[in-house]
Every structure is written in structure tokens, then in C-alpha cells.
């Protein structure tokens, strides 16, 4: 790839402004000397300065969202709340290209993945609109004559949403679309690395609110870093804090929310593995692994980081994966280029982490089979383009047990399925996992209670690329939260158990007699 292939920062800034204008979103104030900035990993440069919020303005946002909750939104019928999300879905369809443009500029995702991320927002809108008529409670038989026992679901209040850079819009929409139909209002703190996508989403939601007559304060966005997030964490009016990011962030946030008896929902780091059995279809293994491990430049929470391969096929699998990686070499670079498959890392932090992990793996006896180098170092300046790496490891050492948020795939071998499962589960994280096998009994054992210990367990597909219909989330250091589909909506509501006496007598439960 040549220097001229990298767009210049001024052109990217102009593209970002145009996308915001097309969404008819208020442009951020580009005040020189502002506390923050919009940046792009494509060149590693600042696009323009941008105001950040302070703790006083976070307080104002929560006050506004709390007011909208108590004065209107919680009492609006759920199917009417669904109309807001329906309208948002229509605007997202209309502005899919514009949002994808901003995702590529701010997160560095290749065009097709950026479009896919916006599609995920559209899909969750559809799911949430349907959900707005399906917030079911159960009815149970009462042991007392003339009584009815049932449960009803009610909105919680303000939901604080803190998101990571690598899914700058999808994770917001999983939370916000479901929270809104559940009757909650939302204050969103996006990653400090992706403020423009956040302003665009907020702007489109405000247009949707105006179109359907919903209160504007059902949603607020606050920009800034950790201190802005901490203000949400500490605010007692934030009934649920949904936080997505590193395990270190989750560890800082969870005890503080718990100390004020708030609820939290955590979506944290992963260290995902695929087991490759001797019967596996190796074509599927190679395609599934390369997309899961090198896609999004290894910056997905569900990125495949460990390949645990049966000793009979490990040499062949490693050779074929390495061959596929060699084909990626010329397809690293400008994420706007149609032919690019691997865009930039989000910044120097990811690059330093990758270099350090490769050094440690080497010291542990690992051999880099392919990749690991920096591309375009001269031309890209402050941007970090890397060759995805495959490392053959003699065992699961400490560095392999950590999540390095960069494209490194560790290959290890096993003899028995028990050994494979032990290696698989022998890490602190528990997000996504897969087995490649043609042996159904083996697949079932992997899916069973004694198998993989993750929130997502797949057969014959890779670890990344979940659909919104299922609940998304993971166990152990991944935080235990579930978002998106299935019954994840229950996290955004409170359950009341109701006993109604229509019998005219007052029998007590458990046969207790009193008076």
C-alpha cells in the first residue's frame, strides 16, 4: 500500500462534518482549546477540538432524564414507546451510510463491518418494537381460594450507558432501544474516542422523538472520559448502570454502584477460544478463524484469541491459517478502501500492548509463525497498522490468559476433549467460544454443563459475529451481563409480584392462623 492511499486528516474531518450535516445533527462546537477532541485512527490525528462535559453537566443530564421518566415516559404505554424506536429504526435505515462513515472515521472499521454495525442497530430496533407488545408477566395459581397471583414488570428509571470504542453505536442501541421500550430514560457516555458517532445517534433519536411527540429528555448524551463516567456511576438516580469496556473498568465501576444499591450490567473483556477436533471441516476452521481473529484488527470483545487444535491436525491447521494470513498482508490499510480487510488499531496503546504480548509469548517459548510487524510506519505517523499475528505456543502461559486487544492468535494443541475443555476454560474471561467438529456427541459435550463455560458457545462457526436475537454477554471476568435479545429486557425493568384477593375472605398463606 502506498502513502497516497491513506486519506489526509483534513479530508476525513470534512467527511465527518458532511455525515453529521446529512444526519441533520447539530455540529459539535469546534472550540480551540476545548477539553476534548474528535480523532481518527486512520491517520492518528485530531479531526477537530470538541467540548467535553463536566460533572455539573452530567448532573444536569441525569436531572433532565429523571424528569422525563417521572413526568411522562414511565406512564406512556409500552406500544406507544415502541413507536419512538420504530421511527428511530426508519431514520437509521435512511442514514445507514452516514453513520457507517463516522464509525469508520472514528473506530477505523472497514466499510463492510461499519455498515454491519449500523445494521445491528436497525435489527435491534425491529426487535425492540416487537418487544414493546411483549413485556410479559406470568400468572401463577395461588394456594389461597379467591386469590390471583401474578407478576408485572415496571420501568426502572434512568439507565446510564457507558460504551467502549470498538462498537461505538451497536452496544448503545442494544441498551437504548430496549431500555426505551421498557419505559426507562437513558444518559449515554460514549467512549472518548468516538464522540461524533454518539452525537449522530443522539441527534437521530432526537429527530425521532420530535416526529412521534416523545419528550426530548428521554435521552441525553454526555461526552468525556473516565471522570464523566464516574459521575454517572455515583449518581443514585441512575437506577441501572450498563457499562461496556475492559475488565479493569468493570472492577472499578461495579463495587461503587453496588455500594449505593444500584443495579449494574457489565459487558467486559473476552479471551475467546475455538477447539478444533480431528473430524473438523478444515475449510470452515480456516475461514471462521481468520474472520474471527483478524477481523476488526483483533479489536472485538469476541475476537478469537486462542485456537486449541487436536494434535493430529494442528500442523495442517497452523499451516493453512498462516497461508490465509499471508493473503491479508496486502490488505492492511485505509479502511475506506474496498480491498482492505484489516484497518488500523485504535491507537498506540493497542500497538504497545501487541508488541509487549509478542515479546512475552516469545520468552515463554512461543514462535511467531506469521505477522506481528507494523505496516506503513513511515507514512502513517501516529496511526498504527499491524500485521495480524499467529503464534504457536507450547502451552497456555500467563500472556495467553490475558486479553490483548490486538490481532494475535495463539495456537495450542490437545490430545483429549477433556484436555481441550480444560485449556479452553482455563482463563479468567468467559465470553465467546466455539468448537469445530463433525462429531455430534463431541459437540454436545462441548455445549453441556461440563463443556465450555462461556456466555456464547458455538458449533462450526467462529467466536465473533453474534446476532441480536440471542442474549449477548459472558461469564467470569466478562461480567455476567446479558444484552440484546432473548429475555435480556428483564434487566431494564423491575418485577413486582402481585397478589389480588377477590374472594371476600382473608386466608393466610402456609395455613397460618392469626386473629
SS3 215: coil
How long a stretch of residues is the chain? 515
Task: Compare residues 101 and 192 and give the one whose CB is closer to ligand NAD.
Answer: 192
Contacts of 366 (CB under 8 A, 6+ apart): 391, 392, 393, 394, 397, 410
- Phi and psi torsions of 439, nearest 5°: -95, 110
Q: What is d(CA 118, CA 122) in angstroms, rounded to the nearest whole number?
A: 7
| DSSP class per residue in 434-453 | EEE-S-HHHHHHHHSTTS--
End-to-end CA distance of the chain: 87
Binding site for ligand NAD (CB under 6 A): 162-167, 171, 189, 191-192, 225-226, 229-230, 233, 244-246, 249, 252-253, 267-270, 301, 403, 405, 431, 474, 478
Spatial CA neighbour of 276 closest among 79, 434, 50, 75: 434
CA atoms within 13 A on the CB side of 313: 20
Contact predicate 453/476, CB 8 Å? yes
* Grid coordinates of 94: 435512511
- Phi and psi torsions of 376, nearest 5°: 55, 30
CB atoms within 10 A of CB 255: 11
- Residue given cell 472492577 in the structure block: 251
Task: Compare residues 53 and 98 and give the one whose CB is closer to ligand NAD.
Answer: 53
Task: Compare residues 264 and 336 and give the one whose CB is closer to ligand NAD.
Answer: 264
The set of catalytic residues is 267, 301
Contact predicate 199/29, CB 8 Å? no
The CB-of-210 to ligand NAD minimum distance in angstroms stands at: 27
DSSP state of 133: T
CA atoms within 13 A on the CB side of 308: 26
CB atoms within 10 A of CB 261: 7
Alpha helices in 95-160 (DSSP H): 96-107, 111-131
* Grid coordinates of 240: 441501572
Amino acid at each position: 500500500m502506498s502513502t497516497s492511499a491513506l486519506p489526509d486528516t483534513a479530508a476525513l474531518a470534512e467527511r465527518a462534518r458532511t455525515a453529521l450535516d446529512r444526519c441533520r445533527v447539530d455540529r459539535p462546537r469546534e472550540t480551540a482549546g476545548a477539553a476534548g477532541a474528535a480523532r481518527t485512527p486512520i491517520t492518528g490525528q485530531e479531526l477537530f477540538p470538541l467540548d467535553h462535559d463536566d460533572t455539573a453537566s452530567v448532573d444536569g443530564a441525569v436531572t433532565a432524564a429523571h424528569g422525563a421518566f417521572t413526568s411522562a415516559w414511565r406512564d406512556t404505554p409500552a406500544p406507544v414507546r415502541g413507536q419512538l424506536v420504530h421511527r428511530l429504526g426508519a431514520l437509521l435505515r435512511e442514514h445507514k451510510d452516514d453513520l457507517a462513515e463516522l464509525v469508520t472515521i472514528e473506530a477505523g472499521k472497514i466499510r463492510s463491518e461499519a455498515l454491519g454495525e449500523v445494521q445491528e442497530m436497525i435489527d435491534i430496533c425491529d426487535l425492540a418494537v416487537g418487544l414493546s407488545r411483549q413485556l410479559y408477566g406470568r400468572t401463577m395459581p395461588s394456594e389461597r381460594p379467591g386469590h390471583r397471583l401474578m407478576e408485572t414488570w415496571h420501568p426502572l428509571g434512568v439507565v446510564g450507558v457507558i460504551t467502549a470504542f470498538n462498537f461505538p453505536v451497536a452496544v448503545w442501541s442494544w441498551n437504548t432501544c430496549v431500555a426505551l421500550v421498557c419505559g426507562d430514560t437513558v444518559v449515554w457516555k460514549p467512549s472518548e474516542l468516538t464522540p461524533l458517532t454518539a452525537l449522530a445517534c443522539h441527534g437521530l433519536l432526537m429527530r425521532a422523538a420530535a416526529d412521534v411527540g416523545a419528550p426530548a429528555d428521554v435521552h441525553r448524551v454526555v461526552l468525556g472520559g473516565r471522570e464523566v463516567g464516574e459521575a454517572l456511576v455515583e449518581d443514585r438516580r441512575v437506577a441501572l448502570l450498563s457499562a461496556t469496556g475492559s475488565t479493569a473498568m468493570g472492577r472499578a465501576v461495579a463495587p461503587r454502584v453496588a455500594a449505593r444499591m444500584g443495579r449494574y450490567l457489565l459487558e467486559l473483556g473476552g479471551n475467546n477460544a475455538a477447539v478444533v477436533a480431528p473430524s473438523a471441516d478444515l475449510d470452515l476452521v480456516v475461514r471462521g478463524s481468520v474472520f474471527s481473529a483478524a477481523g476488526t484488527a483483533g479489536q472485538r470483545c469476541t475476537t478469537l484469541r486462542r485456537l486449541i487444535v487436536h494434535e493430529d491436525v494442528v500442523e495442517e491447521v497452523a499451516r493453512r491459517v498462516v497461508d490465509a494470513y499471508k493473503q491479508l498482508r496486502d490488505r492492511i490499510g485505509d479502511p475506506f478502501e474496498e480491498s482492505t480487510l484489516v484497518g488500523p488499531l485504535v491507537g498506540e496503546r493497542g500497538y504497545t500492548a501487541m508488541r509487549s504480548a509478542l515479546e512475552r509469548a516469545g520468552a515463554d517459548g512461543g514462535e511467531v509463525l506469521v505477522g506481528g510487524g507494523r505496516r506503513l510506519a513511515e507514512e502513517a505517523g501516529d496511526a498504527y497498522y499491524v500485521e495480524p499475528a499467529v503464534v504457536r505456543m507450547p502451552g497456555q502461559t500467563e500472556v495467553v490468559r490475558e486479553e490483548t486487544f490486538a490481532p494475535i492468535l495463539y495456537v495450542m494443541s490437545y490430545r483429549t476433549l477433556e484436555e481441550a475443555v480444560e485449556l479452553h476454560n482455563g482463563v479468567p474471561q468467559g465470553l465467546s467460544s466455539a468448537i469445530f467438529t463433525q462429531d455430534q456427541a463431541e459437540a454436545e459435550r462441548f455445549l453441556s454443563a461440563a463443556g465450555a463455560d462461556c456466555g456464547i458457545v458455538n458449533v462450526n462457526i467462529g467466536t465473533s459475529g453474534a446476532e441480536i436475537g440471542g442474549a449477548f454477554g459472558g461469564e467470569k471476568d466478562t461480567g455476567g451481563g446479558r444484552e440484546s435479545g432473548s429475555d435480556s429486557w428483564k434487566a431494564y425493568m423491575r418485577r413486582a409480584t402481585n397478589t389480588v384477593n377477590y374472594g371476600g375472605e382473608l386466608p393466610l398463606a402456609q395455613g397460618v392462623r392469626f386473629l
